[in-house]
Amino acid sequence: MNTLDMQAAIKTYATPLPVLDICNALLTISSYLSAIQNATLPQCVQTANPTLATKCVAWQESIWQEFYEGLVDATILAQAEQIDQLIEDGVTVQSAYQAAIATPSCPVPTVISRCDDVLSQITTGVGYAAQLRLIASQLQQADQQQVEALEKTVATLNGQFDALEQSLTEKALDDGKEVVATIIDVGVAVATEENPISPLLKGISQVGFGIIDQLVLSDEIKATLAELESAWSQMDEATLQLAQVTLLLNRLDAVLSQTSQTVTALNSVVTCWETICDLINAPATQWSSASLQRLGEWAARMNRIQFAPPVSQKVSA
């Protein structure tokens, strides 16, 4: 190995493995998309535009499946498991690992293609949001001030629940046990099928050595919930409808904007996966001296992480 190759190998080996970055980005995306999947369309949307309502419901399910089943489960975790198995079987041929991340018919790594598919679903949702805004603008009998006051209470509630979030840490991985990441979709007990209310912008991420399905509510959260329930009970029908559509649009905006945390996290997954691809496509001398070992470490750590399906929790003051 010449000096330049050796320097490249050392640099590659010293680069932190993108395990936490990948998984925490997936947690972020999961928290926002699970909230989209579980949002209930207000009755006024179904009345005003039944076709839109049907398409929205189908899209809500489709974007979640594209992400959770397509990108996370069937691609990222499956490829990490496949790489780990190759290493366990003693396979050192570089082409075997290259085949694990891309198909011969498509040079673009499968994970990156899946990320593009999720982004395409996000783009589709922009048109639905525009139509929902049109419906909201037609609810002229609603009390706009009441809705704005409710949004302030909801913003406080979101901040309080955000403080309960957990992310994956090095310490959790270093314990050597399987780590389970779960999203808790929080609903409020005051909501009904006829009058749905979805105040939180996203699900709340939890990380542990098993599925965590309940959040412990602080007195501050309970106080804010009481304020929310009181405000909700004082709204007339038109104002309730506007509040429902507004909260739904706020959820959508947290996903659909090109500067949203969802899109930023999706781009982070792409960047991290390019690092993995660089390892796998390294020059032959670098592959045998550093890349294969480093890839094995990465795959072993990735395989200790499980992304559980989201769970739901109803809360009240």
* Fold of the 3-315 domain: Hemolysin E; Chain: A; (1.20.1170)
What does the alpha-carbon distance between residue 269 and residue 263 come to, in Å, rounded to a whole number? Answer: 10
Residue 2 has pLDDT above 60, yes or no: no
Under a CB-based contact definition with an 8 Å cutoff, are residues 135 and 44 in contact? yes
Residues in the chain, total: 317
Q: Where are the domains of the chain?
A: 3-315
Q: Give the Cβ contact number of residue 192 at 10 Å.
A: 9
In this prediction, residues 279-301 reach a mean pLDDT of: 91
Task: Give, in order, the Cα–Cα distances in Å from 266 to each of 73, 127, 231, 299.
Answer: 15, 20, 36, 20
Residue 11: what pLDDT? Answer: 47
Residue 3: what pLDDT? Answer: 46
Residue 206 bridge partners (DSSP): 182
For residues 112 and 189, the model is more confident at 112
Residue 280: what pLDDT? Answer: 94
What does the alpha-carbon distance between residue 42 and residue 194 come to, in Å, rounded to a whole number? Answer: 8
Helices (H) and strands (E) in the chain, counts: 14, 4
Q: Give the Cβ contact number of residue 92 at 10 Å.
A: 12
Residue 141 has pLDDT above 50, yes or no: yes
Place of tokens 């969802």: 262
For residues 138 and 11, the model is more confident at 138
Residue 312 bridge partners (DSSP): 185
- Where do runs of H (alpha helix) occur along 166-260? 170-174, 219-233, 237-256
Q: What percent of the chain stands above pLDDT 70? A: 93
Task: Give, in order, the Cα–Cα distances in Å from 239 to each of 9, 198, 209.
Answer: 63, 15, 44
What does the alpha-carbon distance between residue 162 and residue 141 come to, in Å, rounded to a whole number? Answer: 34
Span 67-98, pLDDT tens digits: 999 999 999 999 999 999 999 999 999 999 99
What does the alpha-carbon distance between residue 80 and residue 84 come to, in Å, rounded to a whole number? Answer: 6
Span 223-282, pLDDT tens digits: 999 999 999 989 999 999 999 999 999 999 999 998 999 999 999 999 999 999 999 999
Residue 189: what pLDDT? Answer: 77
